[in-house]
Amino acid sequence: MIIRNPSFLFFLLIIPVVIYRIKTRSKPGAIHYPTAMLIRERPTWRSRLAVFVPYLPVLALVLMILALARPQSGRKETLIRREGIDIVITLDVSTSMLAEDFVINGKRTNRLEIVKQVTRDFIAGRPHDRIGMVIFAAQPYVLSPLTWDHNWVESRLQEISAGMIEDGTAIGTALTAALNRLRESAAHSKVVILLTDGVNNAGQIPPELAAEAAQALGIKVYTIGAGSTGPVPYPVQDRWGRTVYQTVELDLDEKLLQKIAAVTNGAYFRATDTKSLKEIFQEIDRLERSVIEMPQYQDYIELYPLLLLSALLLLLAETILTNTVCRRLP
């Protein structure tokens, strides 16, 4: 509870004076009897009640003074220590991500769909972080700027599909686009999560140069190589438009991803199946925690209406009692 206008509480100092005046005020004229035997004074509930009636306006005055002070209950403003950083998730959406070497719920699924699901779970577990997203193939595309509106990021994530950008794998250019999202960030910790299943074969910026830029900006890059080792099933269209599967070998430049992670003080992970991909995102979630202070507010409840109502009821009670059961003789 807090008092908005505490200066009004000084008026409570007059209450002892008011009580003293009530006790010492002149008593009404008495009726004289020739002998006390003619009347026997027995205390009754009315006489007992009459003792307290004069003090009802005093109590009402106290309540009105408290109402003027505006006591409020329930609201508080505190600094809560929470964990929050800026993260840009950078996902490969080239057509190689259509390879169906991941399994979920016993069903074979392509790499991109699994990545989307695991990424969505990762975002949901970071409510105090600003999240941005870049997708890339032969060129990058900023899917979402850094934002606390995770619902927006997740809705945009659901819209992506393999092949929506000209095919290719521009790792260096994509990393540079992610760095540009974080360049002006004032966050204590800035992170890029870069996931790809291929080799750098497009773009104008060498990945090594982009990694050096990340190091200069103090941005960690966690790299993830997605896809199982060896031949994988890949969907293609036959001459009649039907989807058939071919077994293909897809290259992954692990040395490049390891180098990017090492230069930026990040880490490299290899996701060969759904389970390992989930564990990788969980590990990154544990590694990247930064404590920040955020204000938290609660609404106040005004108590003065209740105090004023109580004061009015006391005054009404005093008026009724004085003119009825506690009425004095003139």
Q: With 80 as the cut, is the pLDDT of residue 150 above it?
A: yes
Lowest mean pLDDT among 55-69, 182-196, 219-233: 55-69
Q: What is the mean pLDDT of residues 264-291?
A: 89
**pLDDT cut 70: percent of the chain above it:** 83
Distance CA 221, CA 198 (A): 17
pLDDT at residue number 220: 96
Distance CA 14, CA 22 (A): 13
Higher pLDDT, 283 or 229: 283
Looking at 93-241, list the stretches that DSSP marks H as alpha helix, in order from N- to C-terminal side: 111-124, 150-159, 171-182, 207-217
Q: With 90 as the cut, is the pLDDT of residue 238 above it?
A: no
Burial letters 297-316, b for 16+ CB under 10 A, else e: eeebeebbeebbebbeebbe
Q: With 60 as the cut, is the pLDDT of residue 249 above it?
A: yes
Supply the CATH classification number for the domain 80-294: 3.40.50.410
Identify the sign of the CA torsion 82, 85, 86, 91.
negative
pLDDT at residue number 295: 55
Question: If you ran DSSP here, which 8-state letter would residue 23 be given?
Answer: H
pLDDT at residue number 156: 95
pLDDT in tens, 65-90: 888 888 877 655 555 555 578 999 99
Lowest mean pLDDT among 90-94, 160-164, 284-288: 284-288
**pLDDT cut 90: percent of the chain above it:** 50
Lowest mean pLDDT among 164-173, 258-267, 282-291: 282-291
Distance CA 298, CA 291 (A): 22
pLDDT at residue number 78: 54
Q: What is the mean pLDDT of residues 196-218?
A: 95
Six-digit token string for 170: 């521009």
Domain with CATH 3.40.50.410 in the chain: 80-294
Six-digit token string for 182: 């974080």
Q: What angle do CA 96, 223, 185 make, to 5 degrees?
A: 115
Q: What is the mean pLDDT of residues 288-309?
A: 69
